[in-house]
Amino acid sequence: MTRFFAFCTLLSCTLNAAPLPPVKPFLEQHCTECHDGDVKKGGLDLTALEFKPEERKNFDLWVKIHDRVSKGEMPPAKKTQPEAGAMKGFLAALKTPLRGHEVAQQKTNGRTVLRRLNRTEYENTVHDLLGVSLLLKHILPEDTPLHGFDTVAEGLRFSQLQIEKYLEAADAALDAAIVLSKRPVAINQRYSYKNEQGIRKNLDTPAGTLSDPTNPKSGHRVMFLENDKEVIMFTTGDYLVGLKQCRLPGPGNYRIKLSGNAFQSEGQPLTLMIYSNNYKNKRLLSYCELPADKPREYEFTTRMDGSEHIVINCEGVGRDKKGQNIYNVGAGEFKGTGLAMQWIEVEGPLSTEWPPASLKKTLGDVPLKDVDEKQKKFRDGKPLGYELAPADVKQSIASGLTGFAARAFRRPLEQDEAAPYIALATHAVDEGRNFEEAMRVGLRAILTSPAFLLLEEHPGKLSDLALATRLSYFLTSSMPDEELMRVAGEGKLSQPQVLKAQTERLLKGPRAGAFVTNFVGQWLELRNIDATAPDMKLYPEYDMLLKLGMVTETEAFFSELLKQNLPVANLVQSDFAMVNNRMAEHYELEGIAGEEFRRVSLPTGSPRGGVLTQASVLKVTANGTVTSPVIRGAWVMKHLLGQPPPPPPASVGAIEPDTRGTTTIREQLAKHRDSESCASCHKSIDPPGFALECFDVIGGYRENYRSNEKGANTKRKLHGQNIWQYKEGLPVDASGELADGRKFQGIAEFKKLLLDQQDQVMRALAGNLVTYGTGAGIQFADRDAIEAIAKQAKAEGAGLRSLVHAVVQSQLFLSK
């Protein structure tokens, strides 16, 4: 190893003076004609370029030269091409010192800098540590993603604002965890909107007549009709109809059941959204499709923090076929669709444990005593049922904070490491605070300490405890559980078979959904699903249910590949899709009923299959009106092939879409590529985008563009009903030619050509998994390791699960 580094140093110094053979002859023969001091094409003068890898820009430039030559992009095709031996010698002469420089840096500093928990990891960790369930990440500032992920250390910096917000989040978490109130009296009650106070006061008129809006000052509008069994709601905007008569007695799991149906919908269903709302934040609890005219009962179980209220919303009501608002017609005469709600039933909290487990997890095993009802002690308006009664206050503080800190820091404590936190709490006792108040002081300090907020890793091979933490945050976005900590504490986790078994256990565990949601959401940019809003005149079939289904489909697809260990090539083309009734309708697949997503075989000739043709990907790569082959092509290169195109020159303007439909994007790009500087990149970017032109901005298959130009209308069936939609525009041309000259006609032929690059897809996905899991982007020195990971997974069948295991077993994952 010493000789190797000496050789790299010698080579680096020599290159700094003048490139070594075969570098210098190769550059003179094939490169300097265009890249010398006179021509300086692209601003690059290779005759004056020194080799100084310690300077980041210089290092990156030599890597760029290496890569463009290795990909055959340079010298240009019209120039004399180097012989294979010369090419190989040139690349090896560059690769060795470049890689050697980074390897030396990694040996000293590691691949990644010290990183903190991101917002999602912080919230999940606090949930598991304290045994609570409440929204916390919205309190914290947004994280800055780098290399596509918010787990990358370089983007996770500290600021004064973050420290202040960590203190605020810690207080909120401790408030939720330290519960000393009386056991809440569980409810199991059925509610009718006819008895809702805000509605009842406006239903004093005879049944079936117009009522007043429940909140005319809100800017949102809702009207009601009443009959013997139900309240019929006509809402406009995003008005949330509350159920204030239902007051949750406390935090816990609740079973919610409801009955409703669509009203005056001409046989078409409606989608009902059920939210929780605490007047600061709302979150979607569940959603269901309600049939027309015949009530449907729907049931689900969810966690609620006790301060939230249940609210509902339903899209597609409040306007009739002519687009008239209910307020322009009146509820009595309105013929458009409404929502008929018979009742909502709420049962909970379902847990029988009280006080909740969060109390012991937070304060330790401290004796409790019942509060005498005559004392009438209250907190936050709720009567206290228990008091903390430690036999020795300071001893209980010391043992409680020591145990909590060990779990929070995800490792055994060093000698006297808990002393500062114990000192804070005991000082609070000396000042007259009671046990609980003193413990809060120490706990707050622990929850804002670097040992809790940062992942502790040292250069070189990770310790078993550090490996446990990295593995857990990779696959669960949260702290290690008890079993993982036990195995790591015994020094066994780094053993390959034990590590594989623990990886399998986590992948099968209840927290594995976080890996799918957080990795896939960033890798495929699904988090950007709301970045654009489709033009509703062009795409009236787009609704909340379709948007939710888009993301769920892609997550379910990735989960199926992972669960069944299906080949990664399925990302390019699969013979199945994961759909429910709404997505099946969108994809024109017949015979699918119900909201549940399930695996469905695709019919012969279907354009679907793989992630490229999933509506989520197609939506995040388009704006609300038109599609762009450039954006979609760049997405394919970056996310699927791991070959992101360079940014366009500053002097090149963007192409303005033609929403009238008189010219196609292909015609506009043809003029754009007349520029030689543009053509060199667009020959690789545009073909994937052209293949995806047969899909519109919401992922629907099309043979013609839609146009908002005035003229004859086209009708399309939605939920089995003919609706006015758009003017049919020019035909779509989804053909193209890859940079290597291979041609395709449409998406099916393109995917066949793309399958020839499935090894590159494997490498790209391996790189993304390593970046996400280790908190560092892929460096030049990591490329051989990524290649080894991909080859190992391929040797085991090229399955997605095999790839995850190969990543975890790699030196990149096992080392800082």
Predicted confidence at residue 680, as pLDDT, reads 63
Res. 31 pLDDT band, cuts 50 70 90: confident
Per-residue pLDDT at 7 exceeds 50: no
For residues 53 and 59, the answer to whether their CB atoms sit within 8 Å is yes
Mean pLDDT of 48-65: 88
Per-residue pLDDT at 9 exceeds 60: no
Per-residue pLDDT at 212 exceeds 50: no
Predicted confidence at residue 13, as pLDDT, reads 42
Res. 677 pLDDT band, cuts 50 70 90: low
For residues 785 and 813, the answer to whether their CB atoms sit within 8 Å is no
Mean pLDDT of 49-58: 88
Res. 209 pLDDT band, cuts 50 70 90: very low
Per residue in 745-763, pLDDT (tens digit) is 999 999 999 999 999 999 9
Average pLDDT of the chain is 86
Backbone angles phi, psi at 542, to 5 degrees: -75, 130
Sign of CA dihedral 452, 453, 459, 462: positive
Per-residue pLDDT at 673 exceeds 50: yes
Predicted confidence at residue 381, as pLDDT, reads 65
Top pLDDT among 449 and 39 is at 449
Predicted confidence at residue 814, as pLDDT, reads 97
Q: Could you give the angle at which helices 747-754 and 676-691 cross, rounded to 10 degrees? A: 110
Mean pLDDT of 157-181: 93
Q: Go through 360-393 and write b for each residue having 16 or more CB atoms within 10 A of its CB, e for each that does not.
A: bbbbbebebeebeeeeeeeeeeeeebbbbebeeb
Predicted confidence at residue 15, as pLDDT, reads 42
Per residue in 386-426, pLDDT (tens digit) is 889 999 999 999 999 999 999 999 999 999 999 999 999 99
Per residue in 559-580, pLDDT (tens digit) is 999 999 999 999 999 999 999 9
Top pLDDT among 505 and 729 is at 505
Per-residue pLDDT at 346 exceeds 90: yes
Predicted confidence at residue 207, as pLDDT, reads 36
Per-residue pLDDT at 322 exceeds 90: no
Q: 737 pairs with which residues across the strands?
A: 743
Q: What is the pTM of this model?
A: 0.89
User: What Cα–Cα distance (Å) separates residue 789 from each residue in 110, 147, 359, 754, 811?
Assistant: 19, 19, 44, 21, 10
User: What Cα–Cα distance (Å) separates residue 262 from each residue in 192, 194, 228, 542, 691?
Assistant: 17, 17, 17, 18, 40
Res. 650 pLDDT band, cuts 50 70 90: low
Per-residue pLDDT at 138 exceeds 60: yes
User: What Cα–Cα distance (Å) separates residue 295 from each residue in 230, 258, 260, 384, 594?
Assistant: 10, 10, 5, 43, 15
Q: Minimum mean pLDDT among 125-129, 182-186, 483-487, 686-690: which range?
A: 182-186
Per-residue pLDDT at 537 exceeds 90: no
Q: Minimum mean pLDDT among 322-336, 545-559, 670-684: which range?
A: 670-684
Q: Minimum mean pLDDT among 97-111, 151-165, 708-722: which range?
A: 708-722
SS (H, E, C) 423-473: HHHHHHHHCCCCHHHHHHHHHHHHHCCHHHHEECCCCCECCHHHHHHHHHH
Q: What is the dihedral of CA 104, 109, 110, 116, to 10 degrees?
A: -160
Mean pLDDT of 534-539: 86
Mean pLDDT of 455-475: 96
Q: Minimum mean pLDDT among 103-112, 512-521, 765-774: which range?
A: 103-112
Per-residue pLDDT at 165 exceeds 60: yes
Share of the chain above pLDDT 70, in %: 84
Per-residue pLDDT at 20 exceeds 60: no
Predicted confidence at residue 593, as pLDDT, reads 86
For residues 441 and 425, the answer to whether their CB atoms sit within 8 Å is yes
Predicted confidence at residue 713, as pLDDT, reads 58
Predicted confidence at residue 635, as pLDDT, reads 96
Predicted confidence at residue 4, as pLDDT, reads 33
Res. 205 pLDDT band, cuts 50 70 90: very low
Res. 69 pLDDT band, cuts 50 70 90: confident
Per residue in 779-791, pLDDT (tens digit) is 999 999 999 999 9
Mean pLDDT of 114-120: 95
Per-residue pLDDT at 290 exceeds 80: yes
Which tokens in the block code for residue 781? 């020195």
What are the structural domains, with CATH classification, of the chain? 2-109 (no CATH), 187-348 (2.60.120), 526-759 (no CATH), 767-814 (no CATH)
Res. 73 pLDDT band, cuts 50 70 90: confident
Res. 375 pLDDT band, cuts 50 70 90: low
Predicted confidence at residue 187, as pLDDT, reads 94
Res. 536 pLDDT band, cuts 50 70 90: confident
Res. 78 pLDDT band, cuts 50 70 90: confident
Mean pLDDT of 753-777: 97
Per residue in 592-635, pLDDT (tens digit) is 988 899 999 999 999 999 999 999 999 999 988 889 899 999 99
For residues 291 and 262, the answer to whether their CB atoms sit within 8 Å is yes
Per-residue pLDDT at 805 exceeds 50: yes
Predicted confidence at residue 310, as pLDDT, reads 94
Mean pLDDT of 174-185: 90
Res. 658 pLDDT band, cuts 50 70 90: low
Per residue in 710-720, pLDDT (tens digit) is 655 555 555 55
Predicted confidence at residue 10, as pLDDT, reads 38
Per-residue pLDDT at 3 exceeds 50: no
Per-residue pLDDT at 21 exceeds 70: no
For residues 486 and 525, the answer to whether their CB atoms sit within 8 Å is no
The kind and range of the H/E element at 28 are helix 23-30
Res. 444 pLDDT band, cuts 50 70 90: very high
**What is the spatial distance between Cα 234 and Cα 341, in angstroms, rounded to a whole number?**
11
**What is the spatial distance between Cα 33 and Cα 40, in angstroms, rounded to a whole number?**
9
